[in-house]
Amino acid sequence: MRDIVYPPVVGLAKTAFKVLDLKFQMSGTEHIPRSGGAVIALNHISYVDFVIGGFGAQPSKRLVRFMAKEVLFRNRYSGPLMRGMHHIPVDRGAGAGSYREAIRYLGEGEIVGVFPEATISRSFELKEFKSGAVRMAAEAGVPVIPMILWGTQRMLTKDHPKDFSRHQRVSITVGEPMSVSQEDDAVKATEALRTTMAGMLDRTIRAYHEQPAGAWWLPASYGGGAPTPAEAERLDAEELRARAAKRKK
């Protein structure tokens, strides 16, 4: 796949990381293959997860093609970049086309990035997973590689002001590739993926340089001030109702 836009964008991102003096704690990046197709499954806690998740594949010199909301491809600013980097638009009303495109990319040896939670987790813990990542990996005959991001929520996430102050810390944890096949039960395989990523998230949080009691960016189960998963689910439902009402108007 010919890349004209992606390499310069990576260069700009790396420059921004240096200007911000971001402190990265990265582990397991050797699990990302230097060639061949793979699905990277990431947790979703921030609007910058695409950028940071893609950076996690840089030690293997790979470019990740993320599946992202179709609206980003229609935006006058982000659209040309998303298309130029060969990301995959996802129309939730007609997801079959996006799924087939991802399968094609995997067959061509590309790495496809997927957020199984579909939306940002307000609790910063894992939401329920959709099975698409496992199903496409099984159909394409490629591994699923779990990746956990932490610290990105402190920069830009839902319900909180952005904070791109310098010297922030970000953790990227990559797990061992998981093999799946079309003979596997997709629901059970997805549950296994979520269990694996939950353990990785726990270890990543506990290894993070700080866990201040009551901090808004720390999960409630770790003594933080983030909404509990139940509270986050309620807030998500309220957001969906507000969007629906806005569309009616």
State pLDDT tens for residues 78-98. Answer: 999 999 999 999 987 677 899
Distance CA 115, CA 41 (A): 6
At residue 227 the predicted structure's pLDDT band, cuts being 50, 70 and 90, is very high
CB atoms within 10 A of CB 28: 18
DSSP secondary structure code for residue 128 in this structure: P
Per-residue pLDDT tens digits for 29-79 = 999 999 999 999 999 999 999 999 999 999 999 999 999 999 999 999 999
Please report the pLDDT score of residue 20 as a whole number: 98
pLDDT at 24: 98
The pTM (predicted TM-score) of the whole model is 0.95
Nearest in space to 224 (alpha carbons), one of 129, 150, 123: 123
Domains along the sequence of the chain with CATH = 6-214 (3.40.1130.10)
Please, what is the average pLDDT of the chain? 96
**What per-residue confidence (pLDDT) applies to 218?**
98
What is the maximal distance between C-alpha atoms in the chain?
50
| Alpha carbon distance 17, 9 (integer Å) | 12
